[in-house]
């Protein structure tokens, strides 16, 4: 069952769908992305200082999809890009793609991982997917998590002090 709280034209999703939509706040930009492999790579929470700043929050909740499996259903021409590497621990350049109308950060592309879109879970139109298929699998940069935010440990999300093994299986140990 889909749970669409902010209806937008062309919304797709559902528990059995292998694709779903993510839309900016104003509805001008929308992408259709895979919810399963091979196009879906991983989902995670990031506490790095760069994510603190870019989200104006204490962490970012993200999912990664392969660009070649993702379609811009509308508004690709409405995306504004901003790139920099000064706050990225790896030194890679991170290119941010924002809606030029409402400012929603739709996705990021790292020079270290070309062909992958680091997309915001909060842009997904079907809220049920946030608790099922796209629920974060790991939490990275827990060393940078603020003390008053307990993190995602109780949700059985695996924590890593720095960058986690995105898209890779965990070692054979329990959460």
131-165 confidence digits (pLDDT tens): 899 999 888 888 888 887 776 655 567 667 766 67
Tally of domains in the chain:
1
59 inside domain: yes
52 inside domain: yes
163 inside domain: no
pLDDT at 174: 41
Range with lowest mean pLDDT among 23-27, 89-93, 99-103, 170-174: 170-174
Q: pTM of the entire structure?
A: 0.82
The CATH number of the domain where 94 resides is what? 2.170.150.70
11 inside domain: no
Q: 15 near 130, Cβ under 8 Å?
A: no
* pLDDT tens per residue across span 66-111: 999 999 999 999 999 998 877 777 788 889 999 999 999 999 999 9
**Structural domain of 36:** 19-141
Q: Token pair 């970012």 is at which residue?
A: 60
152 inside domain: no
């Amino acid at each position: 069952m889909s749970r669409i709280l902010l209806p937008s034209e062309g919304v797709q999703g559902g528990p059995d769908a292998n694709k779903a939509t993510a839309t900016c706040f104003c509805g001008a930009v929308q992408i259709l992305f895979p919810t399963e492999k091979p196009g879906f790579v991983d989902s995670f929470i990031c506490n790095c200082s760069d994510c603190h700043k870019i989200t104006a929050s204490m962490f970012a909740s993200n999912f990664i999809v392969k660009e070649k499996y993702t379609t811009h259903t509308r508004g690709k021409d409405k995306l504004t890009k901003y790139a920099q590497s000064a706050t990225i621990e790896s030194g890679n350049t991170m290119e941010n793609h924002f809606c030029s109308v409402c400012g929603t950060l739709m996705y990021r592309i790292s020079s270290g991982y070309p062909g992958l879109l680091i997309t915001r879970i909060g842009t997904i139109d079907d809220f049920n997917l946030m608790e099922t298929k796209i629920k974060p699998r790991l939490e990275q940069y827990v060393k940078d998590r603020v003390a008053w935010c307990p993190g995602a440990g109780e949700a059985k999300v695996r924590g890593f002090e720095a960058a986690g093994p995105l898209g890779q299986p965990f070692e054979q140990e329990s959460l």
